Each structure stands twice: as structure tokens, then as C-alpha cells.
């Protein structure tokens, strides 16, 4: 199974509006999407997702060709998988590995 690193990184922040203004105004990043709780900034090939969530975790993503097979492989290796719906795409899973890291797994 090939896991391809996705160019999306989600970062929770305490002061959402101020953080959005910082990245948009001071740093000059382009807004690709915003719904009031999440803003996606384009940074070349990478997307930085700033989320209104003070207690959240930083998430990165992996894209796979076969979501269910990849999930099964990860679960067998000791990961926990929780089904999640991607806001603009296919079915996905939030994965927590045995070492405490979490990531988003989606089929593309």
C-alpha cells in the first residue's frame, strides 16, 4: 500500500479571527476557502488550514488509492480509525497511530 503525503496541514488556533488576519494581512497568504470556522490558505503547493479550535490537534494527511485496505492495514498495526467526512471530498478516516500522532486518511 502506498501512502502519499498530502499538501494539507490543519492547525487549530485560540483566536481564530486574529490568526486569519495575521496570515492574510501580515504574511500575505492567499485565501482559498473560508467558512468562519476554517480558513484555507494556499502557500505554493501546500494548504494551511487554520481552524477555530483551541483544544484541537495539528493534523496532516495521507492520500491512498484504496481507503478501506489502507485503514485495515493501519488498524492491524495498532492504529485506531474513526470515520470522518471530508468537507469537500470522499469518505475518510481520522487515524491515531500507536505513538500518539494523528492524521487524516483519504482516498483520492
pLDDT tens by residue, 13-55: 999 999 999 999 999 999 999 998 999 999 889 999 999 988 7
**pLDDT, mean of residues 73-100:** 83
pTM: 0.74
Q: Which fold has domain 4-107?
A: 2,3-Dihydroxybiphenyl 1,2-Dioxygenase; domain 1 (3.10.180)
Q: What percentage of the chain exceeds 90 in pLDDT?
A: 60
Q: Give the model's confidence band at 70: pLDDT under 50 very low, under 70 low, under 90 confident, else very high.
A: very high
Sheet-wide strand order for 4-13: 30-34, 38-43, 46-52, 4-13, 59-64, 102-107, 91-96, 80-85
Terminal Cα distance for the chain, rounded: 14
Residue-range domain boundaries for the chain: 4-107
Stated as kind and residue range, the H or E segment containing 72 is helix 67-76
Q: Are 68 and 76 in contact (CB under 8 A)?
A: no
Q: In the block, which residue shows the cell 492524521?
A: 103
Residue 90 pLDDT grade (very low, low, confident, very high; cuts 50, 70, 90): low
Amino acid at each position: 500500500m502506498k501512502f502519499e503525503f498530502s499538501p494539507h496541514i490543519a492547525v487549530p488556533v485560540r483566536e481564530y479571527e486574529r490568526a486569519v488576519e495575521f496570515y492574510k494581512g501580515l504574511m500575505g497568504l492567499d485565501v482559498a476557502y473560508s467558512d468562519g470556522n476554517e480558513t484555507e490558505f494556499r502557500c505554493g503547493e501546500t494548504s494551511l488550514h487554520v481552524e477555530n479550535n483551541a483544544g484541537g490537534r495539528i493534523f496532516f494527511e495521507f492520500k491512498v488509492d484504496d481507503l478501506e485496505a489502507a485503514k485495515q492495514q493501519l488498524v492491524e498495526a495498532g492504529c485506531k480509525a474513526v470515520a470522518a467526512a471530508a468537507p469537500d471530498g470522499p469518505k475518510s478516516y481520522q487515524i491515531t497511530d500507536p505513538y500518539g500522532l494523528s492524521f487524516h486518511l483519504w482516498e483520492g
